[in-house]
Amino acid sequence: MKNSKQNTMNKAELVAKIADDAGFSKSQANAALDAFTGAVTKALKSGNKVTLVGFGTFSVTKRNARTGRNPQTGAAIKIKAKKVARFKAGKELSAKL
């Protein structure tokens, strides 16, 4: 696994790691990762939570509308309310970090 200066893993590196660890081809690992992200996205869109025991929980939370500042001009701007995805790490994952 090759890391950049910020120690981030991109999708191609994650797919290669999954393929290596699970004994899959890269195309199978990519399909599995795409299926996982698609399933989580679909569940969140329909208002459900996705809990993986020992790993964490994906959920959707609402952010209220608020007033912000334009950093260039300092002028007040209105920021609309929106829904955002959230991930909370489980106890096992937190303990391993």
Asked if residues 59 and 84 have their Cβ atoms less than 8 Å apart, the reply is no
Mean pLDDT in residue range 10-21 = 94
Report pTM.
0.74
Locate 48 and state its tokens. Answer: 């459900």
Asked whether the predicted pLDDT for residue 31 surpasses 70, the reply is: yes
In whole angstroms, give the CA distance from residue 37 to residue 39: 5
Residue owning tokens 């007033």: 67
What is the structure's pLDDT at 5? 59
Asked whether the predicted pLDDT for residue 1 surpasses 60, the reply is: no
In whole angstroms, give the CA distance from residue 75 to residue 93: 42
- Summarised one tens digit per residue, pLDDT across range 39-72 is 999 999 999 999 999 999 999 999 999 999 999 9
**Length of the chain (residues):** 97
In whole angstroms, give the CA distance from residue 87 to residue 44: 11
